[in-house]
């Protein structure tokens, strides 16, 4: 059974960067990631079955947290250089108040696919250019602006897992933040990239946005998500196409 393990890294220029690493249950000592990322100063576990959106909301509210690093691909290779690459990616990004989520791959606003990961089961040449704006971030490894995540997820009635990154990106554009491809967020994967079920993705996105984006559509790497309902100017806050 998978759990999310929260690992906290003290970083120059940021009070804390918090890692959420989703892995199968650890061995008895539970120190596998702590040993690999030896600069971590804290380690916490979250109960299996807790919705990922609630974990991210809780972690993003911790004092001093500016960025949550979410690693969801269980086959992503964790080594001692991961914190260095995360900091390199952050150095290339604008201030955290201007972006919502940065990812190691995703679907760009121009429908270009970007990727900084190398998966042994599905090898591809990583993209070197960036940062670039994304509409749909890949879930394998992301950087999440804590203030934005807490604002969107805290108290939200919808439980998000599959659609978490897409929802954070779309909410970001609706509130003046950009989602970004971070080419320095490089990692190897001993296996394949994460996949997402289109039906689950569609269900979570529709449940989250309700009628706010009724009649509009959201392009994703998995497929086009069409939001049901008729447009009602009293209920629809914004036109997504005008925000990206």
> Is the Cβ–Cβ distance between 16 and 60 less than 8 Å?
no
Lookup result for tokens 């959106």: 53
pLDDT over 60 (residue 32): no
pLDDT of the residue at 27: 45
Indicate the Cα dihedral angle 166, 168, 173, 178, nearest 10°.
-90
pLDDT over 90 (residue 18): no
> Is the Cβ–Cβ distance between 122 and 190 less than 8 Å?
no
pLDDT over 50 (residue 51): yes
pLDDT over 50 (residue 28): no
pLDDT over 90 (residue 127): no
pLDDT of the residue at 206: 93
> Is the Cβ–Cβ distance between 107 and 135 less than 8 Å?
yes
pLDDT of the residue at 42: 66
pLDDT of the residue at 230: 61
For 36-40, 135-139, 194-198, which range has the lowest pLDDT when averaged over its residues?
36-40
Mean pLDDT of 114-125: 89
pLDDT of the residue at 117: 93
> Is the Cβ–Cβ distance between 87 and 186 less than 8 Å?
no
pLDDT over 90 (residue 13): no
**What are the start-end ranges of the H helices in 62-176?**
82-92, 146-153, 164-174
pLDDT over 50 (residue 1): no
Calpha distance 1→108 (Å, rounded): 33
CB atoms under 10 Å from CB of 4, counted, come to: 22
| Mean pLDDT over the full length of the chain | 83
Q: Is 37 left (phi over 0), alpha (psi -120 to 50) or beta?
A: beta
Percentage above 90 pLDDT, the chain: 44
pLDDT of the residue at 65: 85
pLDDT over 80 (residue 39): no
pLDDT of the residue at 29: 45
Of 38-52, 80-94, 100-114, where does the model show the most confidence?
A: 100-114
């Amino acid at each position: 059974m998978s759990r999310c393990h929260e690992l906290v890294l003290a970083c120059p220029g940021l009070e804390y960067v918090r890692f959420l690493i989703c892995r199968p249950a650890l061995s008895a000592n539970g120190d596998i990631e702590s040993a690999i990322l030896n600069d971590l100063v804290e380690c916490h576990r979250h109960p299996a079955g807790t919705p990922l959106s609630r974990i991210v909301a809780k972690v993003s509210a911790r004092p001093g947290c500016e960025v949550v690093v979410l690693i969801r691909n269980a086959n992503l290779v964790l080594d001692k250089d991961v914190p260095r690459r995360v900091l390199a990616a952050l150095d290339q990004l604008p201030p955290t108040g201007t972006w919502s989520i940065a990812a190691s791959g995703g679907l760009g606003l121009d429908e270009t696919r970007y990727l900084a990961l190398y998966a042994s089961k599905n090898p591809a040449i990583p993209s070197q250019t960036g940062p670039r704006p994304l509409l749909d971030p890949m879930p394998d490894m992301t950087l999440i602006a804590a203030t934005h995540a807490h604002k969107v997820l805290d108290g939200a009635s919808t439980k998000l897992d599959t659609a978490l990154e897409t929802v954070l990106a779309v909410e970001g554009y609706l509130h003046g933040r950009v989602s970004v491809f971070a080419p320095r967020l490089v990692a190897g994967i001993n296996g394949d990239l994460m996949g997402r079920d289109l039906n689950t993705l569609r269900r979570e996105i529709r449940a989250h946005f309700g009628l706010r984006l009724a009649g509009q559509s959201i392009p994703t790497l998995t497929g086009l998500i069409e939001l049901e309902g008729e447009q009602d100017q009293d209920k629809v806050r914004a036109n997504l196409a005008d925000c990206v």
